[in-house]
Amino acid sequence: MKISQKLEYACRALVQLAKTYDGKSLTRLDELAQREAVSSNFLVQILNDLRRAGLIDSRRGANGGYVLSRPAQNITLRQIVDAVEPSQLQNTAVDQGDSGSAVRRAWESVSTKLAADLDTVTLESLASPPSDPMFYI
């Protein structure tokens, strides 16, 4: 599956905000850009999309920055996709030709399953440190 750079950066920025989330501490744009090695000019555009979608809040000024608008367990990967790349989950197959409706139904089914899977992944799960692997002897 091909994921756009915009969507990847949005996820990475939100994971950074989730790691430091306490409901009030702001993270500055330059900190986010540096931690994730992304262009701050591109990142600010992405953060504006996330703010418009209600996933983050922002404050301007010398003490300004970004913070999640709600706890990380209440933000799903699907909400991020809808905020940044809403066309990602849209089915564009058409009902033309003898096989058109069968193909469209198949892609609708895949799209529905993908959306449901995206609803199960939260920012909290992405921000949690990976558990140490178990070695059995």
Distance CA 127, CA 137 (A): 30
Q: Could you tell me the two tokens for 112?
A: 């529905």
132/125: higher pLDDT: 125
Q: Residue 81's pLDDT is what?
A: 95
Does the residue 27 lie in any domain? yes
Who has greater pLDDT, 4 or 134? 4
Does 103 fall in a domain?
no
Give me the pLDDT at residue 105, please. Answer: 87
**Amino acid making up residue 58:** S
Asked, for residue 111, whether it belongs to a domain, the answer is: no
User: Could you tell me the CATH number of the domain that includes residue 38?
Assistant: 1.10.10.10
Supply the range of the domain harboring residue 32. 5-86+122-127
- What's the pLDDT at 23? 83
**What's the confidence (pLDDT) of residue 128?**
85
Model confidence over 62-120: pLDDT tens digits?
888 999 999 999 999 999 999 999 887 777 777 788 888 888 888 888 888 989 999 99
- Residue with the bigger pLDDT between 38 and 94: it is 38
Does any domain span residue 132? no
Q: Does residue 115 lie within any of the structural domains?
A: no
pLDDT at residue 35 tops 70 = yes
The answer to whether position 72 is within a domain reads yes
Buried b (16+ CB within 10 A) or exposed e, 95-121: eeeeeeeeebeeeeeebeeeeeebeee
Residue 67 lies in a domain: yes
Residue 91 resides in a domain: no
* Vertex 78: Cα angle to 72 and 81 (nearest 5): 105
What pLDDT sits at residue 28?
A: 95
pLDDT over threshold 80, residue 131: no
User: Structurally, how many domains does the chain consist of?
Assistant: 1
Average pLDDT, the chain: 89
